[in-house]
């Protein structure tokens, strides 16, 4: 074709034009599908059909689609493992395993009967085709992720079920393909295969976390970390292929291993999601559409019959396990829709199975899975992906709407974190600390502050302050968190922090631990001490010796009577939130009476899976915790201001103890809020109290404990 003097030949083979057209599809397909209210995923597949060889023949399915398509396929399952809430997964593992066994066994049984009786395929062909029904691809996972529902119970059950179903389906594929490849020598093939898979899984689970921890502690460059993570994904996939399994299983395993090293709210996670959703995953979806041959269905009646039977059976046998699981575990209707929406789509595993089966030629000269099954699989992929995407989209919107209505019915105080930044070496650590303590649903901006003393103001200090604020803003933007930067001139730095705290209605201050430069300097420093004296808001003082995402455990020392402080509930919820974000365990050391209340709060906030509790009989026994805190642990000390209910004279020795016995540990010292609604605190913390406690009664309790404290001191 000649156009304005230029010769255009289809299909286009020039790499520049191929990549340009693919980017146009990635750009405009979601816009068009959004107006038609069709999920974006479906738009990508339909676009692939349109431009493929059996459509307008604009592009050929060349090596670039093979490469990027495989990367996208790995990326989908990798992100599923990476974003999986491991604590919620452990909590729902029984439901997930049961659902996985059901969503594998039911399709295998019903599928085999249908394939053998209605489609008249042989034994091996019927089993392999049934495994296609049993497997599924988390192709609708980007929808769940986009709505922020990747940590919902139904999502965790769906992912767990997919793991079980795909694992067994891939084992069947490996055994059948190995049988035909090795002939009579394959009697022990499946035994060796299982041994190889288990050994490889154990090796990856043991060595990869240690390699990740070593790398992240020594290299903080964003590009290096991103490339390292990708290399781990393909290492896992390549090793799994070596032992005879599909690479998607290795990619998912790599996602599970890297889960605790890439917090859900972190710049690295944002980069991984951005690159995958912007390029690799769309490339994979377009490639799936390009191999669909719609014309072949209308050449012969039997091809259309096979496609119809496969599509109908594939959807029915995936809906039945969802319904049974809902009834067994009493799930909501919308959760059943999520289960069906996430597990009904067939793509990666189905394509891998049908391509392997189509490539096997039996002794009679026929293919194990013939052309009719190949075309029927493609139609099944198209239909199930469209239906799954629509169902998942509607279910996700329904869940989000319900959550918003529930959130609106409860009035919570908005969390606003103030982060004073002065030392560029600890800005990243403080920002990561604030982001892990902060609720991921919080829309209020973080406030990054740099204060310049009027007496020592200079252009150099102003330039340094602006650079620090810019770094803080970049770190926030990397995780889609709004950061308000404030450059302030004041008579002294402490006063500047206090004024900014009040002007922005900040609820929490996260500040770095003072660096002792002079012999007469105190442990906290005069700035922090004045800040504690002049504000009643929660102040958290951090000293981080390693990146936050490489911490393996949080150890919390809680003083006696801490439950009578106004900010008691708040810091417990925030620390549990941090442990969940980092995927690490948290251990509280407190008195018996305080431990009971902490346990109740943790359980009510759904944190019982990762929390542990030990008794700390006396605060003077704090040094006994030196044996409980390792180098890669975060030691949290809950302190209090002088004159508060939980304050003890032994707190005066705390700075000396921390600097001497915990010098090689990452520290977080918390000074809780000194004002809140006591009525809310008591009713929340104590499950025995069935009705609100009056403020007067609470004041009497406080006065009584204050008198007792003075007598003890």
Least confident range from 82-86, 165-169, 464-468: namely 82-86
Q: What pLDDT does residue 77 have?
A: 76
Q: Which residues contact 52 (CB under 8 A, 6 or more apart)?
A: 59, 61, 289, 290, 291, 292
| Contacting residues for 261 by C-beta, under 8 A, at least 6 apart | 209, 212, 213, 216, 549, 550
Q: What percent of the chain has pLDDT over 90?
A: 23
Give dist(CA 250, CA 241) in Å, integer. Answer: 8
Q: How far apart are CA 521 and CA 518, in angstroms?
A: 5
Residue 346 has pLDDT above 70, yes or no: yes
**Of 298-302, 380-384, 498-502, 643-647, which range is least confident?**
298-302
Q: Residue 138 corresponds to which tokens in the numbers above?
A: 């988390």
Sign of the torsion formed by the C-alpha atoms of 440, 637, 510 and 496:
positive
Q: What angle do helix axes 247-258 and 222-242 make, rounded to 10 degrees?
A: 140
Which has the higher per-residue pLDDT, 64 or 625? 625
What would the mean pLDDT of 486-500 be, rounded to a whole number? 88
What's the pLDDT tens digit per position in 366-398?
888 887 888 888 788 888 988 998 899 889 888
Angle at 538 between CA 532 and CA 544, to 5 degrees: 90
pLDDT class for 696, splitting at 50, 70, 90? very low
Please give the pLDDT value at position 691: 36
State residue 626's pLDDT score. Answer: 86
pLDDT in tens, 248-271: 778 888 888 888 888 777 788 888
pLDDT band at 406 (very low <50, low <70, confident <90, very high): low
How far out from the chain centre does Cα 304 lie?
A: 41
How far apart CA 680 and CA 29 sit, in angstroms, is: 50
Strand, coil or helix: what is 689?
A: coil
Q: What is the pLDDT of residue 519?
A: 53
Average pLDDT for 522-532: 82
Residue 228 host element (H or E): helix 222-242
Quick one: which of 537, 459, 457 has its CA closest to 500? 537
Split at pLDDT 50, 70, 90, the class of 637 is very high
pLDDT of residue 676 exceeding 70, the answer is: no
- 404 — pLDDT class (breaks 50, 70, 90): low
Q: Which of 338-352, 388-402, 666-680 has the lowest mean pLDDT?
A: 666-680
Q: Name which of 257, 223, 104 is nearest 170 in CA terms.
A: 104
Look at residue 447 and tell me whether its pLDDT is greater than 90: yes
**Cα 182 to the chain's mean position, in Å?**
41
Residue 480 predicted with pLDDT over 70? yes
**Residue 195 pLDDT level (bands cut at 50, 70, 90):** confident
Cβ contact 171:190 at 8 Å: yes
Q: With CA atoms as reference, report the closest residue to 333 among 398, 393, 388.
A: 398
The token duo for 328 is: 């067994």
Q: What is the rounded average pLDDT of the residues 360-370?
A: 83
SS3 content of the chain, % helix, strand, coil (to 5): 65, 10, 25
Q: DSSP assignment, residue 296?
A: G
Q: How far is CA 97 from CA 76, 159, 388, in A?
A: 21, 10, 21
> Where is average pLDDT lowest: 81-85, 212-216, 626-630?
81-85
Question: Sign (positive/negative) of CA torsion 623, 629, 630, 631?
Answer: negative
pLDDT at 462 over 60: yes
CA distance 638 to 589: 10
Residue 639 has pLDDT above 80, yes or no: yes
Q: For residue 619, which of 583, 590, 659, 582 has the smallest C-alpha distance? A: 590
Q: How many residues does the chain have?
A: 713
- pLDDT tens across 543-555, in order? 999 888 889 899 9
- Could you tell me the end-to-end alpha-carbon distance of the chain, in angstroms, rounded to an integer? 94
DSSP-derived secondary structure letter, 422: -
List Cβ neighbours of 509 (8 Å cut-off, separation of 6 or more). Answer: 417, 418, 419, 420, 497, 501, 531, 535, 537, 538, 539, 540
Q: Which of 623-632, 671-680, 681-690 has the highest mean pLDDT?
A: 623-632
For residue 337, name the pLDDT band (cuts at 50, 70, 90).
very high
- pLDDT(621) > 60: yes
Looking at residue 584, what DSSP letter applies?
-
Helix (H) or strand (E) holding 371: helix 371-408
Could you read off the pLDDT of 549-596 as tens digits, one per residue? 889 899 999 998 888 888 899 999 999 989 888 888 899 999 988 998
The residue-averaged pLDDT of 171-183 equals 71
- What was the pLDDT predicted at 689? 35
Which band of pLDDT confidence, cut at 50, 70 and 90, is reported for residue 46?
confident
Q: What is the pLDDT of residue 60?
A: 82
Q: Where are the beta strands (DSSP E) in 458-580?
A: 483-490, 508-512, 538-543, 553-557
Cβ contact 11:57 at 8 Å: yes
408 pLDDT above the threshold of 60: no
């Amino acid at each position: 074709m000649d156009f304005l003097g230029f010769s255009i030949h289809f299909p286009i083979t020039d790499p520049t034009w191929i990549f340009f057209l693919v980017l146009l599809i990635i750009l405009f397909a979601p816009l068009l599908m959004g107006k038609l209210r069709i999920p974006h995923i479906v738009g990508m597949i339909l676009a692939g059909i349109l431009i493929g060889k059996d459509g307008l023949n604009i592009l050929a399915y060349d090596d670039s689609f093979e490469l990027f398509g495989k990367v996208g396929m790995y990326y989908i399952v990798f992100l599923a493992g990476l974003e999986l809430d491991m604590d919620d997964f452990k909590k729902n593992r029984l439901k997930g395993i049961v659902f996985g066994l059901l969503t594998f066994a039911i399709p295998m049984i019903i599928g085999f009967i249908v394939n053998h009786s209605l489609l008249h395929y042989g034994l091996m062909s019927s089993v392999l085709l049934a495994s296609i029904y049993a497997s599924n691809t988390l192709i609708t996972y980007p929808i769940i992720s986009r709505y922020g529902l990747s940590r919902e119970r139904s999502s965790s059950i769906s992912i767990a079920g997919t793991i079980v179903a795909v694992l067994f389906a891939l084992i069947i594929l490996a055994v059948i393909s190995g049988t035909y490849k090795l002939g009579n020598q394959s009697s022990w093939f499946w035994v060796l295969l299982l041994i190889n898979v288990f050994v490889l899984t154990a090796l990856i689970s043991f060595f990869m976390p240690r390699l990740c921890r070593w790398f992240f502690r020594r290299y903080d460059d964003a590009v290096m970390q991103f490339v390292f993570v990708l290399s781990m994904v393909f290492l896992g996939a390549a090793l799994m292929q070596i032992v005879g399994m599909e690479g998607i299983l290795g990619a998912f395993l790599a996602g599970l291993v890297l889960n605790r090293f890439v917090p859900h709210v972190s710049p690295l996670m944002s980069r991984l999601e951005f690159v995958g959703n912007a390029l690799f995953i769309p490339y994979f979806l377009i490639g799936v559409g390009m191999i669909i041959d719609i014309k072949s269905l209308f050449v012969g009646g039997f091809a259309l019959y096979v496609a119809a039977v496969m599509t109908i059976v594939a959807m029915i046998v995936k809906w039945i396990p969802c319904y049974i699981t809902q009834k067994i575990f009493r799930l909501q209707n919308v959760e059943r829709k999520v289960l069906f929406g996430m597990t009904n789509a067939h793509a990666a595993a189905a394509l891998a199975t049908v391509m392997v089966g189509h490539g096997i030629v039996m002794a009679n000269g026929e293919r194990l899975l013939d052309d009719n099954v190949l075309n029927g699989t493609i139609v099944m992929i198209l239909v199930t992906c469209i239906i799954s995407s629509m169902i998942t989209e509607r279910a996700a919107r329904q869940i989000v709407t319900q959550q918003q209505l529930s959130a609106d019915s409860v009035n919570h105080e908005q969390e606003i974190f103030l982060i004073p930044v002065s030392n560029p070496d600890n800005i990243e650590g403080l920002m990561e600390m604030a982001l892990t303590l902060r609720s991921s649903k919080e829309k209020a901006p973080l406030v990054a502050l740099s204060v310049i003393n009027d007496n020592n103001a200079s252009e150099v200090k102003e330039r340094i302050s602006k650079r620090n604020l810019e770094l803080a803003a970049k770190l926030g933007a990397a995780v889609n968190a709004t950061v308000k930067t404030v450059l302030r001139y004041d008579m002294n730095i402490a006063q500047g922090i206090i004024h900014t705290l009040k002007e922005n209605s900040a609820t929490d201050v996260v500040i770095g631990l003072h660096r002792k430069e002079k012999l007469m300097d105190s442990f906290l420093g005069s700035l922090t001490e004045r800040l504690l004296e002049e504000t009643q808001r929660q102040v958290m003082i951090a000293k981080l010796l390693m990146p936050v995402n490489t911490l393996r455990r949080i150890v919390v020392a809680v003083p006696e009577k801490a439950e009578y402080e106004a900010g008691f509930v708040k810091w417990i919820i925030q620390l549990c939130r941090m442990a969940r974000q980092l995927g690490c365990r948290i251990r509280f050391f407190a008195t018996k009476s305080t431990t009971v209340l902490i346990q109740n709060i943790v359980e009510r906030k759904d944190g019982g899976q990762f929390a542990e509790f030990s008794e700390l009989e006396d605060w003077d026994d704090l040094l006994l915790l030196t044996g409980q805190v390792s180098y890669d642990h975060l030691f949290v000390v809950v302190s209090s201001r002088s004159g508060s209910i939980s304050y003890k004279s032994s707190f005066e020795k705390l700075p000396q103890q921390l600097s001497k016995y915990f010098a090689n540990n990452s520290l977080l010292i918390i000074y809780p809020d000194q004002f809140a609604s006591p009525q809310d605190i008591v009713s929340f913390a104590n499950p025995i109290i069935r009705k609100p406690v009056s403020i007067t009664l609470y004041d009497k309790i406080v006065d009584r404990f204050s008198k007792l404290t003075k007598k003890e001191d």
